[in-house]
């Protein structure tokens, strides 16, 4: 429900509503005029919290406090939501050992953050026509030096640039390591 969809007091269109107090006590189903009267007696607002229910559910509470609570819940939900990206790294046949280690460390960081990682073995010129098994072995050597536990999400295959593999964090192996 968006902020503009919240109906309060005289904006509520239903004839009968189920009323809940600020403490969470259910007062039952009553005509809208009676519910508004109860809210005015308490010097609070009548807020429609579930308009699609039969009859709609309303709550007697302070509107400002209600909006604050909604905003707080939205913030918590947003904080818990984790968006995974597919990060890409590229290695070449002639890449030196130190550079491979540095790239493997970066891939491990991405995996620890929960991202998927696409690793490209970039081939150019005559390297494109080398034997697939030899190239696959080179890519597997790079995968072997990654310090984070992972699982292959998309197997090694040919791509326009060379060979590609997609990996993601293997959560089951991390839990076993934490228990030891």
The residues facing 120 across adjacent strands are 90, 164
Domains in the chain and their CATH numbers? 3-63 (3.10.20.80), 86-179 (3.30.110.10)
Is the full-model pTM beyond 0.75? no
Q: pLDDT-derived band of residue 119, with 50, 70 and 90 as boundaries?
A: very high
The predicted structure's pLDDT at residue 120: 93
* pLDDT tens-digit readout, 132-148: 898 999 899 999 999 98
Structure token digits, residue 150: 């992972």
* pLDDT tens-digit readout, 82-96: 677 889 999 998 889
* pLDDT tens-digit readout, 6-40: 888 888 888 888 888 888 888 888 888 888 888 88
Q: pLDDT-derived band of residue 177, with 50, 70 and 90 as boundaries?
A: very low
């Amino acid at each position: 429900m968006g902020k503009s969809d919240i109906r309060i007091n005289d904006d509520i269109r239903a004839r009968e509503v189920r009323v809940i107090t600020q403490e969470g006590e259910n007062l039952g189903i009553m005509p809208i005029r009676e519910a508004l009267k109860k809210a005015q007696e308490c010097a609070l607002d009548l807020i429609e919290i579930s308009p699609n229910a039969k009859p709609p559910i309303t709550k007697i509470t302070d509107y400002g406090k209600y909006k604050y609570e909604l905003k707080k819940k939205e913030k918590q939900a947003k904080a818990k939501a984790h968006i995974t990206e597919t990060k890409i790294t590229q290695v070449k046949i002639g890449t030196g050992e130190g550079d491979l280690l540095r790239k493997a460390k970066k891939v491990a960081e991405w995996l620890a953050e929960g991202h998927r990682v696409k690793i490209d073995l970039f081939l150019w010129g005559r390297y494109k026509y080398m034997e697939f098994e030899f190239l696959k072995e080179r890519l597997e050597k790079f995968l072997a030096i990654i310090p984070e536990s992972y699982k292959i999400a998309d197997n090694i295959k040919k791509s326009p640039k060379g060979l590609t593999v997609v990996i993601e964090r293997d959560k089951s192996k991390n839990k076993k390591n934490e228990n030891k």
